[in-house]
Amino acid sequence: MSEINYKELKNYLMGFEKKRKPEAPAPVYLIHGEELLWNTALETLLDALIPGKDRSLNYDPVDGTNEKIKAAIEGVNTYSLLSGTKVVAIIDSKIFYSKQDEGSLLDNAKTAFEAKNMKAAAKYLLSLMGLMNLTFEDISLENRSKTLKLDPENFGDAAWFDKIVTYCTDKKLSIPSEGDNAALLQKAVEKGFPKGNHLIITTDMVDKRRKLYKIILKNGVVINCSVPKGARRADQLAQEAALVEQMETLLHGSGKTMDRRTFRAMYELTGFDLRIFSENLNTLISYVGDRKKIAQDDVKNVLKRTKKDPIYEFTNAISDRNVEESLFFLNSLLSDNLHPLQILAAITNQIRKLLIVRGFIESPHGKSWHSGIQYGQFKSGIMPAVQRYDRDILNQLEEWDDMLSKNVGTNQSRSEKVGKKKKKPTATDLVIAKNPQSPYPVYQMLLKSEKFTTHELIAAFEKLSEADLRLKSTRQNQKLVLEQAILGICR
């Protein structure tokens, strides 16, 4: 039928009251995305389908584990004992998870653990194990490197993983079986349900390529409650908009107010986490008592920092030569168990990027660049020059590759050369604009490069090389080694 954004849900439901055919209740609804948002959307939808007084008899929520899918299908195909609408809801379903979600499930398990939500962390880990057909023996310390694709940068210290495993085994939690539940549910949706009966499915992640998703979209309504998690400006604006909307809802219900600066202070403490943000705001509402306005001092006095600082915030502080912020984010990353060598690699990568950008500025291609240039001028005038510079770099690499191939070829027999195709130059880190469709990060990088001379960037590499040697070959305090390297670069 259709897919709508959660913000459009109230307008969609207005059609129920007017009894317009296109907006008549659908037989099946899929609500996916942020848990707090889909919970709100679920309640809003239930209020429209079943008035509160009838909900206890005509509403049947079912746990989203795959073992309960069959029971949910049987429930929605059974007529209600009382007349009127009947709703069966599969809450927090894992049926849409696919092989492509393995990394996301592990990340979500770690995030839930860090938020002290062991129940959710266990659900994500068990879903991952069911998806991959793993046992607890398979993810033991000696076996997990073979069975799980672990990203060292995100996985970090395994202590959090072991604690989730211990929680699962102590609680005797079972690993869900994949079975053929998706096919059963798909067949049930295609067949349809008795008139007046509706199925609602809520989940955090969906694979839109799966046939089950497409069948639900064809026969029902999908309510998208997702918020982009990326670091692009558009993603960050969407995250902030979702938090502002949640803030306005809670403040309106409490009769309190909060200005923009106080909101930003909260956001800096929590980052984009709707649940923690809401809990913190409710804490502030209780803290101020009869006072109508929540102030910045309230945030400082009551709330603790829970935001997980991404590595790019740290590297941006390095690029800005901001000593205070660089050391602050260093402490934050180390407290999140990021390995010192990973932090050093991130600094090195950023300095390398700045040096490459300085190469462009000092080349004939970069003669039109100056630090005061506006973004619009950069986009139309400088970005094409950056792309030409990148093409020249790639052409130079191709020429060098050809020269090396000819030299190597003189030592090969004719038979070894036959059938070999000429290789195209692979992607290189020497390219500035890897994604020409997104010029804004390139613009920002050029601005940051103005804070360094080429000589200073080369000197920074020397300091980083020295720090690398000290981290690997001595027993010096690793935090102190990193701090000295940062001070040497920023000052």
DSSP 143-183: THHHHS---HHHH-STHHHHHHHHHHHHTTPPPPP-TTHHH
Residue 437 pLDDT exceeds 90: no
Residue 358 CA to residue 367 CA, distance in Å, equals 12
* Cβ atoms < 10 Å from Cβ of 191: 10
**90 three-state secondary structure:** strand
pLDDT digits (tens, 9 = 90+) for 142-151: 777 777 766 5
Angle at 334 between CA 329 and CA 336, to 5 degrees: 95
* Of 26-30, 232-236, 432-436, minimum mean pLDDT range: 232-236
CB 271 within 8 A of CB 264: no
pLDDT in tens, 6-16: 888 888 888 66
The 8-class DSSP code of residue 366 comes to G
Of 188, 153, 133, give the one whose Cα is nearest residue 337.
153
Neighbours of 77 (CB within 10 A): 15
Q: Indicate the domain borders of the chain.
A: 2-94+178-225, 99-170, 233-302, 309-399+427-491
90 closest CA partner among 66, 71, 70, 63 = 63
Please state which CATH number belongs to domain 2-94+178-225.
3.40.50.300
Neighbours of 1 (CB within 10 A): 15
**Coil vs helix vs strand at 106:** helix
| Dist. CA 43–CA 38, nearest whole Å | 9
- The CATH label, of 1.10.8.60, 2.30.110.10, 3.10.620.30, 3.40.630.30, for the domain at 233-302 is 1.10.8.60
Q: Which CATH number fits the domain 309-399+427-491, given the four candidates 1.20.272.10, 3.40.50.920, 1.10.10.60, 3.40.50.970? A: 1.20.272.10
pLDDT of residue 426: 46
Please, which pLDDT band fits residue 179 given cuts at 50, 70 and 90? low
Name the pTM for this structure: 0.58
- Least confident stretch, 113-122, 292-301, 458-467: 113-122
271: left (phi over 0), alpha (psi -120 to 50) or beta: left
Name the average pLDDT for the chain. 83
CB contact at 8 A, 124 and 115: no
Q: Please, where are the H alpha helices in 271-310?
A: 274-288, 296-302
Phi, psi of 2 (to 5 degrees): -165, 165
